[in-house]
């Protein structure tokens, strides 16, 4: 497993560099798209926990407008996400700047998705295993329902990925991700703009 992780880290960075060069026209086009239809602040950045919980700055294309109320507080997500932002998310193109995170060695192409820092103290010992590997651009949970899954279901899949880490599983996840993106299927939950916040695992849960 340790040998595969070293090999995986090397190829992650090599392919991230190649992808950024090949996709540079697309990345530039998305920058213009975001600037015109969503926000003049093209990139969204946020600290997220990575390998062993170490924090890093995650990069994404901004998909929400900066609409605020009279008190200066951000409006609810559904009021800040316009059609352009919804399309950007449904196509998963908003995730492309994470190629920079992969190039920097903070993420991998495949792994558990990097969640919010505020969730760290809420994890059970078992759920913390998701941080035994680098977070990924895509993962086992993303190709098996993504936002349609409950949190506990996501964590079960994350832990399964960590425990069954292999090149075969990584290739399968990458192929499934490509199919989902091109078919625009199972990318987002049908009834929610964003996933509800994780508030801790129920005492009766198996996770």
Q: How many CB atoms lie within 10 A of CB 146?
A: 19
What H or E segment, with its residue span, contains residue 56?
Answer: strand 55-61
Q: What are the structural domain ranges in the chain?
A: 2-183
Across 43-55, average pLDDT: 96
pLDDT of 190 higher than 80 = no
Instruction: State how far the Cα of 83 lies from the Cα of 67, in Å rounded to an integer.
Output: 15
Instruction: Tell me the pTM.
Output: 0.88
> Which of 59-73, 102-116, 140-154, 170-184 is predicted most confidently?
102-116
- Averaged pLDDT of the chain: 89
Note the pLDDT tens digit of each residue in 123-182.
999 999 999 999 999 999 999 987 788 899 999 999 999 999 999 999 999 999 988 887
Please tell me the predicted confidence (pLDDT) of residue 191: 43
**Scanning the structure block, which residue is given the tokens 């994470």?**
98
Please tell me the predicted confidence (pLDDT) of residue 77: 75
pLDDT of 185 higher than 70 = no
Across 2-24, average pLDDT: 95
57 versus 193: the higher-pLDDT residue is: 57
Please tell me the predicted confidence (pLDDT) of residue 193: 55
Please tell me the predicted confidence (pLDDT) of residue 184: 60
Across 45-71, average pLDDT: 92
The alpha carbon of 111 is separated from its chain's Cα centroid by a whole number of angstroms, namely 9
Q: How many CB atoms lie within 10 A of CB 164?
A: 10
pLDDT of 99 higher than 50 = yes
Please tell me the predicted confidence (pLDDT) of residue 70: 76
Please tell me the predicted confidence (pLDDT) of residue 110: 97
**Scanning the structure block, which residue is given the tokens 């991998």?**
108
Please tell me the predicted confidence (pLDDT) of residue 201: 79
């Amino acid at each position: 497993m340790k040998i595969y992780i070293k090999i995986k880290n090397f190829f992650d960075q090599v392919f991230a560099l190649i992808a950024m060069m090949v996709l540079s026209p697309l990345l530039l086009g998305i920058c213009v798209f975001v600037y015109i239809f969503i926000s003049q602040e093209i990139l969204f950045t946020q600290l997220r926990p990575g390998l062993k919980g170490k924090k890093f700055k995650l990069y994404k294309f901004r998909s929400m407008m900066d609409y605020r109320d009279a008190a200066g507080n951000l409006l609810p997500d559904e009021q800040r996400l316009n059609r352009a932002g919804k399309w950007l998310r449904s196509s998963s193109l908003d995730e492309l700047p994470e190629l920079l995170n992969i190039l920097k060695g903070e993420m991998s192409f495949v792994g558990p998705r990097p969640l919010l820092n505020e969730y760290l103290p809420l994890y059970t010992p078992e759920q913390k295993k998701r941080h035994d590997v680098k977070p990924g651009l895509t993962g086992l949970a993303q190709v098996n329902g993504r936002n349609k899954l409950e949190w506990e279901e996501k964590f079960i899949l994350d832990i399964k990925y960590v425990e069954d880490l292999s090149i075969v599983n990584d290739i399968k996840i990458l192929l499934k991700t490509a199919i989902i993106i091109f078919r625009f299927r199972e990318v987002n939950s049908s009834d929610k703009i964003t996933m509800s916040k994780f508030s801790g695992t129920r005492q009766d849960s198996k996770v």
